[in-house]
Amino acid sequence: MPAITTSTSELLSRFDSLRRTLAAYSHATGVLQYDGDTVAPRGSAALRGQTLAVLSGVTYELQTGSDTTELLRELRSRSDELDPITLRDVSEMLRRIERLSRIPADEYVAYNRLVNEAGAVWRDAKERSDFALFRPYLEKIFETNIRFNRYIAPDTPVYDTALDEYERGLTTEKCDAFFAALRERIVPLMSRVSAYLAASKPEPFTSRRFPVWKQRLLSGRLMDILRLDRDHCIIGETEHPFTSGFTRSDVRITTHYHENSVLSSMFSVIHEGGHALYELGIGEEYDGTGLAGGISMSIHESQSRFYENIIGRSRAFAGLIVPVLREIFPEEAADVDAESFYRAVCRAEPSLIRIEADELTYCLHIMVRYELERGVMEGRFEVGDLPRLWNEKMGEYLGVTVPDDAHGVLQDSHWSGGGIGYFPSYALGSAYGAQMLEVMRKTVDVDAAVASGDLLPVNEWLREHVWRHGCMYDPGDLLERCCGAPFDPSCFTRYLERKYGDLCTNL
């Protein structure tokens, strides 16, 4: 325990050593996980699970030990002697530790081992479309999350604690209000769009065979267009695309290539590229601190979906990318023009797979997951009933028939990794991005920048208002600083109504 007489500078030097050690463990853990998800042989999962369990055990001890807690509390009590970044870093770490210390160490280590094994089992189960294989793992994951959230906040509904984990301050009440607002505007829009769709045909190029080796070249070109620094960002291949940001000097993104769907990987790369830009754009003043990452899943998704949808699915981007497509795929894309590309990437129709869903129907996929995971967390649904409930809700909201669990309840990796409470972040992220666009347009000619192929003005605006701040501000505060107003879901519905209204009227 630090003596009262210990100087603040000595406490700060201990704190600096602590956060560097924690950062090293976190880096090692992250790289091992990335390796497990990408290139490691399948038979290595058990060993990796043991190693990760040891690392997480040591990290847990280091974080929750009485020395650490006392050090952080002492530093916080001297807040007037700390600079704002250090004060925020100390407070955030203390908050995390106080939450974590409510979970017994052995249960925490066992849970880390569980989710690591569950990842491998989920991949097998999805490949064979065999939910029964995954079910015992998913049951344990839900049970553990319920138990942990009760430890963390005994007086708060467990699903609210789960939501708060990913987006501080988010509750089921706010989610319900947000989704209700979306449903009210999206459903009438969907019926207008389906009338338009009935009169149009899918663009033939979208299901044509595009060789994977050429799609890899396209990924490289997309990374260049987004201005991703290739010295600090690489791309790997996984079943389910994701981004791992270790520090602003090492960010990894992944994609999945489908030979008969060139747009699938293309928009995954743009989406993950948005996540990567955020991580790469964090201010150097946060190097070596615990604040050198994105602040929340929703703000992260606001960036990825900004690039994927607002930029990637714009007329200006269609004009930019079609010549690139025709250069890389001279035969496959010979008849593709900018307008047909734009129509194809904005085509909105109910579908089975979330990551391939369009902007308009996407939030309905999120609503299905939100209602199901919330139901299990609240004890209203059994894990064993999830496949049936999933299929029912997909029928109810999207009008689609789910052929098997691989295209249904097993499609996403999130639950296998313990990511319960994550999904609403996707929908919120879309809405945040639309609000940022409205403000950005006041000073940046977004379409002109995209059409010119130089995204610098867009990137710089986001760097200035979002990326460089790292974890300095809570997500709601960051959004308000960025937009000069609190969160307003109507920006998103206005954006969708304008875009799809135009598509239905002018095509």
Residues that bind Zn ion (CB under 5 A): 304
Nearer to Zn ion, 148 or 432 (CB): 432
Whole-angstrom Cα distance, residue 229 to residue 236? 15
Q: Which alpha helices (DSSP H) does 287-337 contain, by range?
A: 297-305, 315-328
Whole-angstrom Cα distance, residue 382 to residue 390? 12
Kindly state the smallest distance separating residue 317's Cβ from Zn ion, in Å.
Answer: 18
Kindly state the smallest distance separating residue 48's Cβ from Zn ion, in Å.
Answer: 24
Kindly state the smallest distance separating residue 304's Cβ from Zn ion, in Å.
Answer: 4
Tokens coding 70? 């006392």
Query: For residue 281, which amino acid is it?
Result: G
The answer to whether the beta carbons of residues 96 and 164 sit under 8 Å apart is no
Phi then psi dihedrals of residue 243, to 5 deg: -125, 135
The answer to whether the beta carbons of residues 228 and 276 sit under 8 Å apart is yes
The answer to whether the beta carbons of residues 488 and 435 sit under 8 Å apart is yes
Kindly state the smallest distance separating residue 278's Cβ from Zn ion, in Å.
Answer: 10
Nearer to Zn ion, 56 or 304 (CB): 304
Transcribe 234-293 into DSSP letters.
EEEE-SS--EEEEETTEEEEEE---TT-HHHHHHHHHHHHHHHHHHHTS-GGGTTSTT-S
Q: Which of 272, 279, 308, 373 is catalytic?
A: 272
The answer to whether the beta carbons of residues 179 and 226 sit under 8 Å apart is no
Q: Is 432 exposed, middle or buried (0-12, 13-18, 19+ CB in 10 A)?
A: buried
Q: Is 237 labeled as catalytic in the residue annotation? A: no
Nearer to Zn ion, 161 or 304 (CB): 304
Query: For residue 125, which amino acid is it?
Result: A
The answer to whether the beta carbons of residues 58 and 109 sit under 8 Å apart is no
Whole-angstrom Cα distance, residue 107 to residue 103? 7
Kindly state the smallest distance separating residue 271's Cβ from Zn ion, in Å.
Answer: 6
Kindly state the smallest distance separating residue 11's Cβ from Zn ion, in Å.
Answer: 38
Tokens coding 306? 């900004």
Nearer to Zn ion, 328 or 368 (CB): 368
Nearer to Zn ion, 215 or 304 (CB): 304
Kindly state the smallest distance separating residue 255's Cβ from Zn ion, in Å.
Answer: 12
CB-based closest residue to Zn ion: 304
Nearer to Zn ion, 122 or 307 (CB): 307
Task: With residue 233 as reference, give the H or E element that holds it.
Answer: strand 233-237
Nearer to Zn ion, 298 or 304 (CB): 304
The answer to whether the beta carbons of residues 248 and 291 sit under 8 Å apart is no
Catalytic residue list: 272
